Chain A
């Protein structure tokens, strides 16, 4: 058993990860739902009672209930992976990226106590007002963008492209336009 846990705890190769994501998406399709996470935002808004005030949120929650189960599972999965399947090896990002981030004063966290390269916690923490503001602003962009475009990375980039959908391809091109603008024009101004 310990050997199995140790085996799973190593960082997973991208080819293995990609194959497993496809398997999950295919399995969910066979179960009769569409692999897509951002649809849960609508479901939460409906559950909070917004459906009475706005027609867009007036949905039948029974059809959406699987989303709540899936999210609850994802939260638990994140907890399990972070606490019980932790590898001592930090996320192996490229040396070039690490060097470039130093110019922004972001140092690469490389030990267990420093979150193993998951998040620059010197920016995103509760005692940094700028970080909280960025978290809120980024969240609004994500919520608005994924609902207007009816899908996020899972729905468009994985599932939609898997079904050869042109709207999904256009959405993914948009993801990259936005991502490149943020990374190369806005972030140097925000963090530089």
Chain B
């Protein structure tokens, strides 16, 4: 039941990413050239909606359906790590015009070249697993 629900949310996500045009390479390119408000609008509205809702849910000590208190497990603040990791991801994001969600949606939409991108992403994940001990965290 739970899995079916997440599959349905996934379907909604796929339609949303396509119809919002967030999966468009051109939209991402335009965003990094500051030539349209579109992507900034999407992310901005999403964040501005989330902040008060999460704040309210945490204030009310809401429990998730799994039974635990709704909370965000904070990550250890390491500027070098998040800045360099973010930069590496940003390079790929701008080149391919797709972040991890859109990679799956594009494959579903029939852009099979994104299968190659997914293979690359899994290689990248494997490389991280290999080098993990040597990187600052």
Shortest CB-to-CB span from A140 to chain B, Å, is 4
Q: Is the CB of B75 within 8 A of A78?
A: no
- The CA of A18 and the CA of B39, in the complex, are separated in Å by 9
The residue of chain A having its C-beta at the shortest distance from the C-beta of B113 within the complex is A124
Could you say which of A14, A81, A137, A174 contacts B89, with CB atoms under 8 Å apart? A174
Q: Is the CB of A81 within 8 A of B18?
A: yes
Q: Is the CB of B54 within 8 A of A79?
A: no
Could you give, for residues 1-27 of chain B, a 1 whenever the CB lies within 8 Å of some chain A CB and a 0 otherwise?
011111111111111111111111111
Q: Which of B34-87 contact A (CB under 8 A)?
A: 35-39, 41-51, 53-54, 57, 62, 64-68, 70, 72, 74-79, 81-87
The residue of chain B having its C-beta at the shortest distance from the C-beta of A87 within the complex is B19
Q: Is the CB of B123 within 8 A of A91?
A: no
- The CA of A100 and the CA of B35, in the complex, are separated in Å by 11
Could you say which of B7, B22, B125 contacts A143, with CB atoms under 8 Å apart? B125
- The CA of A161 and the CA of B16, in the complex, are separated in Å by 20
Could you say which of B22, B35, B88 contacts A94, with CB atoms under 8 Å apart? B35
Chain B hits for A30, CB < 8 A = 57, 62, 64-65, 70
Shortest CB-to-CB span from B120 to chain A, Å, is 2
What number of A residues sit within 8 Å (CB to CB) of B? 122
Q: Is the CB of A100 within 8 A of B33?
A: yes
Q: Which of B85-137 contact A (CB under 8 A)?
A: 85-97, 99-101, 103-114, 116-130, 132, 135
- Given A97-B36, A147-B124, A162-B50, answer yes or no on A32-B113 (Cβ-Cβ < 8 Å): no
- The CA of A158 and the CA of B53, in the complex, are separated in Å by 13
- The CA of A66 and the CA of B8, in the complex, are separated in Å by 11
Shortest CB-to-CB span from B8 to chain A, Å, is 6
Q: Is the CB of B19 within 8 A of A18?
A: no
- Given A72-B7, A124-B113, A142-B100, answer yes or no on A77-B20 (Cβ-Cβ < 8 Å): no
Could you say which of B15, B47, B89 contacts A80, with CB atoms under 8 Å apart? B15
Q: Is the CB of B16 within 8 A of A17?
A: yes
A38-B99, A132-B116 known, 14 other contacts, Cβ within 8 Å: A8-B19, A16-B20, A45-B126, A70-B10, A77-B18, A81-B109, A96-B33, A139-B121, A141-B92, A144-B125, A152-B101, A167-B82, A176-B90, A179-B90
Question: What are 23 inter-chain pairs, A to B, with CB distance below 8 A?
Answer: A12-B21, A14-B37, A21-B42, A28-B9, A31-B5, A38-B121, A70-B6, A76-B7, A79-B110, A85-B15, A94-B30, A124-B96, A125-B113, A136-B120, A138-B117, A139-B103, A141-B88, A149-B81, A152-B101, A165-B72, A165-B74, A174-B89, A186-B91
